[in-house]
Structure 1
Amino acid sequence: MFGYQGKALHVDLTAGSTNTKFLKEGFCRRFVGGSGFVAKYLYDFLPQAINPFSPQNMIVFATGSFCVTSIPSSSKYAVGSKSPLTNLIGDSVSSSFWPERLKKSGFDLVAISGRATRPIWILIDEGCVTLENGKDLWGLSTFEATEEIKNKIGDKSVSVAAIGQAGENLVRYACICNDYRQAGRAGIGAVMGSKNLKAIAVRGSKPVEVAEPEKLRELSSEYTKQLRQGEGSKGYREYGTLADVGQMNELGSLPTRNWQESTFDGADKLDWDYISKRWLDRKLPCSHCPLACSRLFSVKEGRYKGSSAVMDYEPTYAFGPNCGVDYYPAIVHALELCDSYGMDAISAGVSVGWAMECFEKGIFDKKDTSGIELRFGNHEAMTGVIELIAERKGIGDLLAEGTKAASEKVGRGSEHFAMQSKGMELPGFEARGLKATGFGYAICTRGGCHVRSGSYDLNLKNTVGRSDTDERIGPLVKETEDFASLIDSLLICRLTRGLWPDFEARFSGLAELYALVTGFEFNSYEMRKAGERITNLKKLFNVREGWKRADDCLPSRMGEPLPDGSMKGARISGAEMDGFLDSYYRARGWNEKTGIPTEKKLSDLGLGE
């Protein structure tokens, strides 16, 4: 096949065995790659209702057909398992050199099951697979483990995906770190830890053939030029996503102090101009990406001297306004801790914000918080608690469970302000001020997430008004969600979406690229169907695990009116949520009352077997 290596590596850690399976063309055409491959494997191979930390759980890594081609911004991989944070499907995407080297080693997919009897790491070297003793790596940070493995192999160009102490300690939102990038949110790092798997190192040089190399190079060159010079990508080239802080504050949609407010009085100290003049170090682009949206920030003096991290909007929100902190060096240090321990920054920051509100409301006192004065704005308390979470010590042991489980254990009304959906903590776009965005959080298959639904684009691009809740929203959210499923399966960066003016052009443009890579004659309609098929498959996994309509919801705080900002008074009522779900399920062709995919819809998508 063109565009694929055509092979999947299966690793059974219990047996200590590996074997290779061949991927069929029909499988690749129907599920595309990346997130689609991950969803299909998890649906087919995982027994129902297993504990995410059971040896029966599986971790699936998959690249896409665009990886190792001339297409820009396509060096990415997807990884998934049953999530220990949500008990539903958990998938994530990361980028840079690791996916290139995995694919060049000869595999499109790696599926890992079982549990090793002792700490190990996996080496995939030019298609040769070995399970290595990882005893001396256990207890190391992600950065330390990566360097130690490179030293063992004697090759600094080897790429490593590793967990830190948070994964070892089964923090339910532990992540996987590679090339200073993270596969976050769903707690897959904790699943790796439960399997005694510290890392996967990859090295390879096998090329990938494409169907139309000259035509692909020509089109890729044009897209690369647009990404480097075009107006649609200018903001990402110049600021990354960090300009969103000021924009969200102006829109009255910057979640502040655990979503009690929607504007932050310290936002000017988190503004791009302010932070870039003081702490910006350099751009740190992903492999093969002309956008170079990532920015490394380094602290040269003060309490957090020596701290550095690749910053973007979400950790800035989570450790900044959400925790009432306007001191950027502390935010940089907080993210550095998360990256080192291997822990999702959004969930960590939102969990700390929830604990701060508990403390200020008298639900917690110092006996509950390990002696820490855990108030909003106390950045020393914030960074101290992050370390306790990773180590599962004191208050950190509770917060390592995530806000849903923690609030259910604590009670006393704290469930009301646990800012999560399906167990996953919410990102930094205020749902009441951007209602289509909030509805997207509610229906997202992996929990409270903006990138899996993509519906924030509807508000930020003014496709719909910020307060709109009419019948258009359901079909539009379906479209953004299916597009997100598609690009996470093709595996091209979502920041490239500005290459095309609208959804029809996006699906058509991706169909053209896919055909040039694979030789499969896909059109816009078939691309849409592929995205829809993958979304439905993820939904089927969740239904099998006990999902019900009531789980497509937002925190009850969203029913309170916003107290400040340009969207003051905005709220999401129960009637608005029900109306949206009805229109969304109708647009999907699912049962409107239950939200479960119908047999007809599944048959139409080829999922009826």
Structure 2
Amino acid sequence: MSSIKGYYGKLLYINLTTGKIEKREIPEEDLAKFIGGRGLGVKILWNHLQKPGVDPLSPENPLIFMTGPFSGFPVPSSSRTCVVTKSPITSPVHSPYPHASTLTYSNIGGFFGPELRFAGYDGIVITGKANSLCYIVIDDDKVEIRDAKKFKGMRTDAFDKAILEELKDRRYKTVYIGPAGENLVRYASILHTSTRAAGRGGVGCVMGSKNLKAIAVKGSKQPDVAHHKKFIEILEKARLVLNNSPNTKNWRSYGTAGYIVKSSDQGTETVRNFREGTFPEAYKIGAEAARRDVWVRDIACMYCPLACKKSGRTKGKYGGIVHDGPEYETGTMLGSNLLISDMAGLLKIIYNVDDLGLDAISTGAVIGFLMEAYEKGMINRKFLDGIELKWGSVDATLAIVQKIAYRDGIGDLASKGVKALFQKIGQGSEKFAIHVKGLELAAHNIQANPPRALCYATANRGGCHLNGDSVEAQNFRAMIDSTGVCLFAAMDKVYEEPIISMLSAITGVEYDRAQFLKAGERVFNLEKLFNYCEGFRREDDWLPDRFFEDAFTIGPKKGAVLDRAKFRDMLTQYYKERGWDPETTKPTEAKLKELELDKIIS
């Protein structure tokens, strides 16, 4: 029995090749050092993949669903589940291993993580590959692998309803893949409630490679708290400060869509495949337009006062659907990025992307790249299977989305991401193929934002906008991802101290801010070690030429462009601050010893 509270200390291991299901104890040392969620998931991945170069789509690659110590407790905004695995879409510039890639971690909100804890588990580790499509059912201690052939090819919206009808119990919380995951699209996502997605890094592709359609869970337990009275006192304080924060009110009113117009006005939005930072028609797809014409419901994840998700119905040619959005990432990557300002058309695209089980960020980046290559005459309509892929075309975008999900024609190549596309097209197209380490960048443009450029370049999972713009921010966010708290809430300064205090009260391990950040630094460095072993070096922490050569031509940041020399200096300073070798980016022996990682890699 672990002396650290707030956990069961138990993982559910499922081997889909053999059908073996077992419960394993989590070493207390791992709970103390890696906390949960992202951190503990990375440590489990490290333990499983002892040799580099494992094919991410092989049965050997584990798919890990991790909760945090806050999961299942009524902590505000603490419903996150972190999916950890080796990514099928990233790759280094040079490596001795043909299947070298980064790890990836992808967060999803909603209700699945808390329910997994109610069932008595801190996480699930899935290995192997089933002979045919299957799904997993977890009902407290009862765990089964069931046949899912009848659900093959089913899109996520329909499946979300069908699986609950099959189980005859709406208390089950489910995660699942769509056709894109089944068809091994490299940036397929895992969906929950048909609108919440663990989208980044191809986690849905790995799930599909295991012939796993879904996981359903329900439970009736809850772990112990170390200091119950203290926890209740801090919990009440946390609720009050978060509920009364102006930031919370903004999330409730506008969700992330509030940034669509704001970012455009600041010149930091992704527009026309990252060519510009301002979209003159952003107001047509922003939060105010959505609130006026579309949204009818504000939706919250479990225990969350932010209610940042918005849902509504559109009318007209693309109308008749009820779905989530636009959010900032979906609205920008599938809207502004493609010069699409038709709100109903945009929501139809978002719906199809979710329904097919694709990552909206990578999908938008891939289509933006193809639109630009087509505009420049590098590819023609024959290459695109007859699709007139012009900027602003909703119908052409919908057609490409369909082809990608089913890997049909041009969709087969496009399903592998922008890196595979520019390697095929050539003609200098790599200059505007927007990715880092093979993972497409998100909706935050960087010609006028060097700190965000650093964020993208140094992210361990590839071009990640949530990585953090500084060393301290990266360590803090790694720790937040390890607790089960949503980053949107955690970014509010008024919530930072209550988070640390609640972690101490739940676990019985006393944390101050310095210790909290040190734990995040340990997680970040273990991720870096994983990538380093796969062959990633300084040359992989770089950005496409677009950001150094193509200055904005419109908007408040007109003329902005990154300076190569200054950015190199920024990276060098970053590595020194991290305690990494500035030439190779390998963490130094002194840093590994400081973080108690030296024994792990010895």
Q: Which residue is equivalent to 1:571? A: 561
Q: Which residue is equivalent to 1:459? A: none
Tell me, yes or no, if the aligned pair for 2:450 and 2:567 is still in contact at 8 Å.
no
Q: Which residue is equivalent to 2:25? A: 22
SS of equivalent to 1:241: helix
Q: Match for 1:29: what amino acid?
A: A
**CA displacement at 1:81 relative to structure 2:** 0.8
CA deviation string 1:437-496 (max 9, x = no partner):
111101000011111x222xxxxxxxxxxxxxxxxxxxxx10111111000001211112
Of residues 524, 527, 533 in structure 1, which corresponds to 2:516? 527
Q: Which residue is equivalent to 2:584? A: 594
CA distance in 1, matches of 2:341, 2:325: 18
Tell me, yes or no, if the aligned pair for 1:294 and 1:311 is still in contact at 8 Å.
no
Q: Which residue is equivalent to 2:265? A: 250
Q: What is the RMSD of the two structures over their aligned residues, measured on CA atoms?
A: 1.4
**CA displacement at 1:498 relative to structure 2:** 4.8
Tell me, yes or no, if the aligned pair for 1:500 and 1:509 is still in contact at 8 Å.
no
Mapped pair 1:603 → 2:590: no
Q: Which residue is equivalent to 2:575? A: 585
Q: Match for 2:287: what amino acid?
A: W
**CA displacement at 1:197 relative to structure 2:** 0.6
CA distance in 1, matches of 2:221, 2:505: 20
Q: Which residue is equivalent to 1:512? A: 501
CA deviation string 1:379-428 (max 9, x = no partner):
11111111111011122112111111111121111111111111111111
Tell me, yes or no, if the aligned pair for 2:238 and 2:498 is still in contact at 8 Å.
no
Of residues 42, 47, 56 in structure 1, which corresponds to 2:45? 42
Tell me, yes or no, if the aligned pair for 1:297 and 1:332 is still in contact at 8 Å.
no
Tell me, yes or no, if the aligned pair for 1:223 and 1:499 is still in contact at 8 Å.
no
**CA displacement at 1:107 relative to structure 2:** 0.7
CA distance in 2, matches of 1:287, 1:82: 28
Give the stretch that moved more between structures: 206-215 or 75-84. 206-215
Runs of 4+ with deviation above 3 angstroms: none
The residue correspondences of 1:529-568 to structure 2 (distance < 5 A) are 529-560=518-549, 561-568=551-558
Q: Which residue is equivalent to 1:473? A: none
Equivalences, count = 583
Give the stretch that moved more between structures: 224-233 or 165-174. 224-233
Q: Match for 1:26: what amino acid?
A: E
Q: Match for 2:17: what amino acid?
A: T
**CA displacement at 1:578 relative to structure 2:** 1.0
SS of equivalent to 1:297: strand
The residue correspondences of 1:91-490 to structure 2 (distance < 5 A) are 91-179=105-193, 180-451=195-466, 453-455=467-469, 477-490=470-483
Q: Match for 1:70: what amino acid?
A: P
SS of equivalent to 2:283: helix
Tell me, yes or no, if the aligned pair for 1:307 and 1:333 is still in contact at 8 Å.
no
CA distance in 2, matches of 1:498, 1:11: 35
CA distance in 1, matches of 2:120, 2:230: 25
Q: Which residue is equivalent to 2:95? A: none
CA distance in 2, matches of 1:523, 1:510: 10
Q: Which residue is equivalent to 1:59? A: 63
Of residues 75, 92, 103 in structure 2, which corresponds to 1:89? 103
Q: Match for 1:322: what amino acid?
A: N
CA distance in 2, matches of 1:533, 1:402: 31
CA deviation string 1:253-288 (max 9, x = no partner):
222111122211211212322221111121111111
**Unpaired segments ≥5 residues, structure 1:** 456-476
**Unpaired segments ≥5 residues, structure 2:** 91-100
Tell me, yes or no, if the aligned pair for 1:9 and 1:111 is still in contact at 8 Å.
yes
CA distance in 1, matches of 2:298, 2:524: 34
SS of equivalent to 1:130: strand
Tell me, yes or no, if the aligned pair for 2:315 and 2:344 is still in contact at 8 Å.
no
CA distance in 2, matches of 1:494, 1:521: 22
**CA displacement at 1:565 relative to structure 2:** 1.6
CA distance in 1, matches of 2:282, 2:588: 47
CA distance in 2, matches of 1:188, 1:271: 29
Tell me, yes or no, if the aligned pair for 2:235 and 2:498 is still in contact at 8 Å.
no
**CA displacement at 1:307 relative to structure 2:** 4.8
CA distance in 2, matches of 1:207, 1:433: 47
| C-alpha spacing 1:77/1:290, structure 2 compared with 1 (3 Å) | same
Tell me, yes or no, if the aligned pair for 1:3 and 1:211 is still in contact at 8 Å.
yes
SS of equivalent to 1:350: helix
Give the TM-score normalised by structure 1.
Answer: 0.94
Q: Match for 1:543: what amino acid?
A: Y
CA distance in 2, matches of 1:422, 1:65: 31
Give the TM-score normalised by structure 2.
Answer: 0.95
Mapped pair 1:74 → 2:64: no
CA distance in 1, matches of 2:287, 2:160: 31
Q: Which residue is equivalent to 1:462? A: none
| C-alpha spacing 1:392/1:49, structure 2 compared with 1 (3 Å) | same
CA deviation string 1:566-599 (max 9, x = no partner):
1122211221221011111011111122111011
CA distance in 2, matches of 1:425, 1:499: 27
Tell me, yes or no, if the aligned pair for 2:383 and 2:410 is still in contact at 8 Å.
yes
CA distance in 1, matches of 2:185, 2:66: 24
CA deviation string 1:224-256 (max 9, x = no partner):
222222223222121111111111111112221
Tell me, yes or no, if the aligned pair for 1:510 and 1:527 is still in contact at 8 Å.
no
CA deviation string 1:111-155 (max 9, x = no partner):
111111111111111121111011111111122223222112110
Tell me, yes or no, if the aligned pair for 2:290 and 2:326 is still in contact at 8 Å.
no
CA distance in 2, matches of 1:273, 1:8: 44
CA distance in 2, matches of 1:261, 1:522: 44
**CA displacement at 1:299 relative to structure 2:** 1.1
CA distance in 2, matches of 1:373, 1:524: 54
Q: Match for 2:66: what amino acid?
A: A
Tell me, yes or no, if the aligned pair for 1:431 and 1:439 is still in contact at 8 Å.
no
SS of equivalent to 1:240: helix
CA distance in 2, matches of 1:525, 1:318: 36
CA distance in 1, matches of 2:53, 2:373: 32
Q: Which residue is equivalent to 1:464? A: none
Tell me, yes or no, if the aligned pair for 1:141 and 1:341 is still in contact at 8 Å.
yes
Q: Match for 2:427: what amino acid?
A: R
Q: Match for 2:499: what amino acid?
A: L
Give the stretch that moved more between structures: 487-496 or 299-308. 299-308
